[in-house]
C-alpha cells in the first residue's frame, strides 16, 4: 500500500512538473502531438561539453551525432561507409588518400576544406583529447588540395577507418574554434543535420534544422534534448506524451510501457558493459587477491534478476559478446562468500576493511551500489556509498580520487580495440578511460599487437589472451552487459536505434 501511494504521488508530481515545462505536447491517449515540427528527447544525463575534444562520454556523443559529421559514417548496424568523403584510397597499410565532398557547409557558412580536417586532428592530439586514442596511429596529415589530403600512419592499424566514424573524430571548423577560444564548448559549429541553438545546463539542449546540410535534410525543424535523470520521470514523460522518445529506460518502466498501445518499445543487443572499477594504485586494491575477493563476494546474477528482468546478462569477458573478438568461454565469477573471505585473509585482511563506493546520480547504478554494499558486508567489507553529480564524477575518477566506482563503457566501433585499449592500456590513465589505473606490461603488449597487426587471426589471439588475464587480475567487478532499451510514442516515426547508443534523429519525425 505504501509503495502504491508513493508511486501515485511521484506520478502526480512528475506530471505537473512536465506539464509546466512543456505544455504544448501531445495527449496521453495516443492522439497526435500539437507541435509536429519539434522532437523532444528524454535524455538520462546532461552533456558534458559540445567540444568533441573535451570529453568522450555517451550523453555528449548523442548530441554531437546531430551537430557534427565525420569523415566516415557508421550506421545503426555498425556498417562503415563514406561520410564527409566522396572517395578514399588505401595506398598501403600506413597511407590513406581522401577526397572530401566539395562545398559542404559548416553551420557558420564556411565551406569544409582539407585544412579543417588537418586542424581537427592536430588539435585533437595537441589537446590530448580523451578520444585521441582513436587516432593514436596517426603520424601526420598532408593537405594536397582544397578538398584532398593524405593520412600517414606510424604503423598499420586495422580499425583506422572505423575510428574515423566515431563521434569524437567529428570535424570542426578552424575559424569557429579560433574565434570562440575557450568558449567553443558552448558555441559548437559542425556540418551535421542540426545546428546548435541553446544549452541550459542541467535542463535542455536545443538544436534546429540546418537547411544547407550536405545530406538528406532533417525531417523535423527542431530537436530538444531534455535532461530527465530520474527513471520514473522519463517513463512518465513518455506516458503523458511530453516527450517523443526516451533513451535508456529503466527495465521495470520499459516493460510496463510496452503494455500501452500508444507506446512503441525497442529492445536490442548493445555494446555496453557496466563495471565496478577499483583504483588499483591504491591499497588495498593494489592486491589482486582483494580484487578477486570482491568479485566472489558480490552476486551479479542476483542483481541482474532484481534490476534488469532479463534485459542484461553476466559478463564472461571485459567486452560484450556482440563486440568483435569477444571471448565467451571464460568462467567469470559467481558468488562464493567463503572463497572471498579466504582470499581476504590471504591478502592480510582477515577481518575485512572499510572503503568507499562511488557512483554518479544514475538510478540503476545507485541500486547496484546498495545491493553490492549489503553483499560486501557479508564478506566483512564495510563500503560506504557516495553519489556524485555526473561531471564531477568523471573529473574526480579521472584524477584517481576514488576507491571503487561504478561506470560503463560502450565499445562504440564494435571492435575489441575500442572496447579494451582505452580501459586497460597503461598509457590511457584517467579521462582517456583507464580510471582503474591498471597497469600490466603483458596487457600493454597484447593490446598494442591487437591494434597494429592487420592479421585478423593474430588480433583475435591477442585479444583472447588479454581478456583471460584481465578477468583473472580483476581490475573490475564485471557487473553486467545490458540490452539497449529505448521507447517512442507511436506518433513518432523513423527511429532506428544505433547499436552504440548514438541514435540519429535526421529521419525521426512526428505525424
pLDDT in tens, 115-127: 999 999 999 999 9
pLDDT at 23 > cutoff 80: no
CA 466 to chain centre: 22
User: Hey, which of 1-10, 69-78, 399-408, 493-502 has the most confident mean pLDDT?
Assistant: 399-408
Contacts of 150 (CB under 8 A, 6+ apart): 91, 95, 96, 97, 98, 141, 142, 144
According to DSSP, residue 52 is labeled: T
Q: Tell me what pLDDT residue 115 has.
A: 98
Q: Tell me what pLDDT residue 9 has.
A: 40
Distances (CA, A) of 319 to 218, 417, 476: 34, 10, 12
CA 454 to chain centre: 27
Query: Which of the pair, 17 or 88, is modelled with greater confidence?
Result: 88
Percent of the chain with pLDDT over 90: 83
Number of alpha carbons in the 13 Å side-chain half-sphere of residue 22? 27
Smallest CA-to-CA distance from 318 within 397, 441, 409 is with 409
Summarize the confidence of residues 85-97 as an average pLDDT. 96
pLDDT at 144 > cutoff 70: yes
Q: Tell me what pLDDT residue 34 has.
A: 65
pLDDT at 406 > cutoff 60: yes
pLDDT tens digits, residue range 356-381? 999 998 888 999 999 999 999 999 99
What span, in angstroms and rounded, lies between the C-alpha atoms of 469 and 174? Answer: 43
Q: Tell me what pLDDT residue 31 has.
A: 62
Q: Tell me what pLDDT residue 377 has.
A: 97
Q: Tell me what pLDDT residue 455 has.
A: 87
Summarize the confidence of residues 33-62 as an average pLDDT. 93
Band (pLDDT 50/70/90 cuts) for residue 20 is very low
Band (pLDDT 50/70/90 cuts) for residue 4 is very low
Smallest CA-to-CA distance from 419 within 498, 503, 326, 314 is with 326
C-alpha cell at 212: 544547407
What span, in angstroms and rounded, lies between the C-alpha atoms of 333 and 316? Answer: 8
What span, in angstroms and rounded, lies between the C-alpha atoms of 325 and 417? Answer: 9
Q: Tell me what pLDDT residue 243 has.
A: 96
What span, in angstroms and rounded, lies between the C-alpha atoms of 352 and 379? Answer: 7
Band (pLDDT 50/70/90 cuts) for residue 419 is very high
Band (pLDDT 50/70/90 cuts) for residue 212 is very high
What span, in angstroms and rounded, lies between the C-alpha atoms of 441 and 473? Answer: 13
pLDDT at 430 > cutoff 50: yes
Q: Tell me what pLDDT residue 7 has.
A: 38
Longest dimension (CA), the chain: 72
What span, in angstroms and rounded, lies between the C-alpha atoms of 265 and 273? Answer: 21
Q: Tell me what pLDDT residue 19 has.
A: 37
Band (pLDDT 50/70/90 cuts) for residue 309 is confident
pLDDT at 14 > cutoff 90: no
Query: Reduced to 3 states, what is the DSSP secondary structure of residue 510?
Result: strand
pLDDT at 183 > cutoff 90: yes
C-alpha cell at 165: 566514424
List, as one string, the DSSP characters of 407-446.
EEEE-TTSBHHHHHHHHH-GGGBGGGSBTT----HHHHHH
Distances (CA, A) of 80 to 121, 229, 238, 483: 20, 32, 32, 22
Query: Which of the pair, 501 or 346, is modelled with greater confidence?
Result: 346
Torsion of CA 47, 51, 53, 56, to 10 degrees: 20
Buried/exposed 427-454: b ≥16 CB within 10 Å, e otherwise: ebbebbbbbbbbbbeebbebbbbbbbbe
pLDDT at 454 > cutoff 90: no
Q: Tell me what pLDDT residue 477 has.
A: 97
Smallest CA-to-CA distance from 193 within 65, 6, 18 is with 65
What span, in angstroms and rounded, lies between the C-alpha atoms of 161 and 190? Answer: 20
What span, in angstroms and rounded, lies between the C-alpha atoms of 305 and 190? Answer: 43
Give the DSSP H or E segment for 38: strand 38-43
SS (H, E, C) 104-129: CECCCCCECCHHHHHHHHHHHHHCCC
C-alpha cell at 441: 606490461
pLDDT tens digits, residue range 165-175? 999 999 999 99
pLDDT at 79 > cutoff 80: yes
Contacts of 76 (CB under 8 A, 6+ apart): 496, 497, 498, 499, 503, 504
| Torsion sign, CA atoms 180, 183, 187, 190 | positive
Band (pLDDT 50/70/90 cuts) for residue 412 is confident
Q: Tell me what pLDDT residue 453 has.
A: 86
Q: Tell me what pLDDT residue 363 has.
A: 86
CA 233 to chain centre: 21
Place of cell 584532398: 148
Summarize the confidence of residues 111-136 as an average pLDDT. 95
Smallest CA-to-CA distance from 232 within 252, 217, 215 is with 252
What span, in angstroms and rounded, lies between the C-alpha atoms of 325 and 462? Answer: 9
Q: Tell me what pLDDT residue 167 has.
A: 95
pLDDT at 5 > cutoff 50: no
Amino acid at each position: 500500500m505504501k509503495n502504491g501511494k508513493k508511486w501515485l504521488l511521484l506520478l502526480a508530481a512528475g506530471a505537473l512538473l512536465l506539464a509546466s515545462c512543456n505544455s504544448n505536447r501531445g495527449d496521453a491517449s495516443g492522439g497526435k502531438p500539437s507541435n509536429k515540427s519539434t522532437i523532444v528527447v528524454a535524455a538520462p544525463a546532461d552533456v558534458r561539453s559540445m567540444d568533441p575534444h573535451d570529453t568522450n562520454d555517451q550523453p555528449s556523443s548523442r548530441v554531437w551525432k546531430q551537430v557534427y559529421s565525420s569523415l566516415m559514417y557508421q550506421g545503426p548496424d555498425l556498417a562503415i561507409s563514406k561520410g564527409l568523403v566522396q572517395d578514399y584510397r588505401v595506398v598501403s597499410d600506413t597511407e590513406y588518400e581522401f577526397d572530401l565532398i566539395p562545398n559542404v557547409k559548416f553551420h557558420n557558412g564556411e565551406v569544409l576544406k582539407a585544412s579543417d580536417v588537418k586542424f581537427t586532428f592536430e588539435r585533437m592530439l595537441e589537446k590530448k583529447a580523451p578520444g585521441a586514442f582513436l587516432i593514436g596511429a596517426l603520424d601526420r596529415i598532408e593537405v594536397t588540395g582544397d578538398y584532398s589530403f593524405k593520412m600517414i600512419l606510424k604503423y598499420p592499424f586495422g580499425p583506422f577507418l572505423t575510428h574515423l566514424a566515431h563521434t569524437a573524430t567529428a570535424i570542426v571548423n578552424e575559424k569557429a574554434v579560433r574565434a570562440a577560444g575557450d568558449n567553443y564548448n558552448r558555441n559548437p559549429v559542425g556540418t551535421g543535420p542540426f545546428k546548435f541553438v541553446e544549452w541550459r545546463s542541467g535542463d535542455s539542449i536545443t538544436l534546429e534544422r540546418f537547411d544547407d546540410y550536405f545530406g538528406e535534410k532533417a525531417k523535423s525543424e527542431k530537436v530538444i534534448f531534455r535532461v530527465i535523470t530520474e527513471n520514473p520521470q522519463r517513463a512518465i514523460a513518455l506516458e503523458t506524451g511530453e516527450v517523443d522518445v526516451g533513451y535508456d529506460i529503466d527495465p521495470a518502466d520499459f516493460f510496463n510501457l510496452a503494455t500501452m498501445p500508444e507506446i512503441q518499445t525497442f529492445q536490442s543487443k548493445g555494446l555496453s558493459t557496466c563495471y565496478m572499477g577499483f583504483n588499483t594504485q591504491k591499497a588495498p586494491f593494489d592486491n589482486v587477491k582483494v580484487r578477486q575477493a570482491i568479485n566472489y563476494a558480490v552476486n551479479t546474477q542476483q542483481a541482474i534478476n532484481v534490476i534488469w528482468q532479463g534485459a542484461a546478462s553476466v559478463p564472461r569477458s571485459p567486452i560484450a559478446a556482440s563486440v568483435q573478438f569477444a571471448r565467451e568461454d571464460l568462467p567469470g565469477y559467481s558468488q562464493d562468500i567463503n572463497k572471498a573471505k579466504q582470499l581476504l585473509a590471504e591478502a592480510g585482511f582477515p577481518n575485512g576493511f572499510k572503503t568507499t563506493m562511488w557512483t554518479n546520480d544514475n538510478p540503476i547504478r545507485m541500486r547496484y551500489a546498495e545491493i553490492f554494499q549489503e553483499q560486501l558486508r557479508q564478506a566483512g567489507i564495510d563500503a560506504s556509498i557516495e553519489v556524485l553529480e555526473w561531471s564531477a564524477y568523471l573529473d574526480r575518477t579521472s584524477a584517481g580520487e576514488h576507491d571503487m566506482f561504478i561506470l560503463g563503457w560502450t565499445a562504440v566501433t564494435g571492435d575489441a580495440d575500442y572496447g579494451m585499449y582505452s580501459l586497460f592500456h597503461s598509457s590511457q590513465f584517467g579521462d582517456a578511460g583507464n580510471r582503474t589505473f591498471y597497469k600490466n606490461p603483458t596487457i600493454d603488449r597484447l593490446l598494442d599487437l591487437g591494434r597494429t597487426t592487420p592479421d585478423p587471426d593474430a588480433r583475435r589471439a591477442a585479444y583472447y589472451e588479454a581478456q583471460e588475464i584481465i578477468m583473472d587480475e580483476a581490475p573490475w567487478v564485471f557487473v553486467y552487459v545490458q540490452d539497449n532499451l529505448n521507447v517512442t510514442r507511436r506518433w513518432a516515426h523513423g527511429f532506428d536505434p544505433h547499436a552504440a547508443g548514438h541514435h540519429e534523429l535526421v529521419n525521426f519525425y512526428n505525424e
